Chains A and B, each alone.
Chain A
């Protein structure tokens, strides 16, 4: 099992660094391009959410764990918890007049990785994105 971690300020300016970290770790783990992109997109969306909607402050941690054939990328934040099961629905087939602004980030997260886990306690929230190699 290998683990890499990065800590970044909880600001939107950190998104590019988060994407670069995921891209680098995904390549080192031997993920194919499509899976790596999906993981990077999902983590970017997740980080943007906790910063913009969760009021995350101070720092975010991003952990990348490779355990056999499974890759688990975890975002740790200290903002308001948000259970992925409460995400708004998105109808990607709706015509433009009916398309709203909300929910697309979560839609990308769920559609881009193989599984998502969420846990929260009084100190921090952890969203784990899981893909198979």
Chain B
């Protein structure tokens, strides 16, 4: 089970995730991200500070969500990935396609 907390702010919706995002739990993340976008948000920041592990299933979920957000004129940014998550982001080339920041504040500050 993932712990997911959504905070809707004036600049973006911050989706805080906790736990391990693998093939079993990635659907929870997808449901949450789709829900936030379904409510009209197109600027998302996914706070990964409490995500201790992410496999390709998590990355696929983020890929689908960022395409949807950008299609709606917004974007999806990542914040505070732990070292193990940074490793899979780097290996997959996702650091080249998803803006990643050290903190949620930095991510929010980059939204123009």
The prevalent SS among residues of B at the interface is: helix
Contact flags A92-103 to B (C-beta < 8 A → 1, else 0): 111111010100
Q: What are the residues of chain A within 8 A of B87 when measuring CB–CB? A: 37
Q: What are the residues of chain B within 8 A of A41 when measuring CB–CB? A: 55, 88
Closest B residue to A52 by CB, please name it.
B23
User: Is B63 interfacial (CB 8 A cutoff)?
Assistant: yes
Please tell me if the beta carbons of B91 and A108 are within 8 angstroms of each other in the complex.
Answer: yes
The prevalent SS among residues of A at the interface is: helix
A44-B55 contact in complex given A16-B22, A37-B84, A99-B97, C-beta closer than 8 Å? yes
Interface set, chain B 77-100, CB cutoff 8 A to A: 84, 87-88, 91-93, 96-98
Please measure, in the bound complex, the distance between the C-alpha atom of A71 and the C-alpha atom of B72, giving whole angstroms: 48
B interface, how many residues as a size bin? 20 to 34
Please measure, in the bound complex, the distance between the C-alpha atom of A92 and the C-alpha atom of B94, giving whole angstroms: 8
A interface, how many residues as a size bin? 20 to 34
* A–B pairs, 29, beta carbons within 8 Å: A13-B24, A16-B20, A16-B24, A19-B20, A19-B22, A37-B87, A44-B55, A45-B55, A45-B56, A48-B22, A48-B55, A51-B23, A52-B23, A92-B91, A94-B93, A95-B97, A96-B66, A96-B67, A101-B60, A101-B63, A104-B59, A105-B56, A105-B57, A107-B91, A108-B55, A108-B88, A108-B91, A111-B91, A112-B91
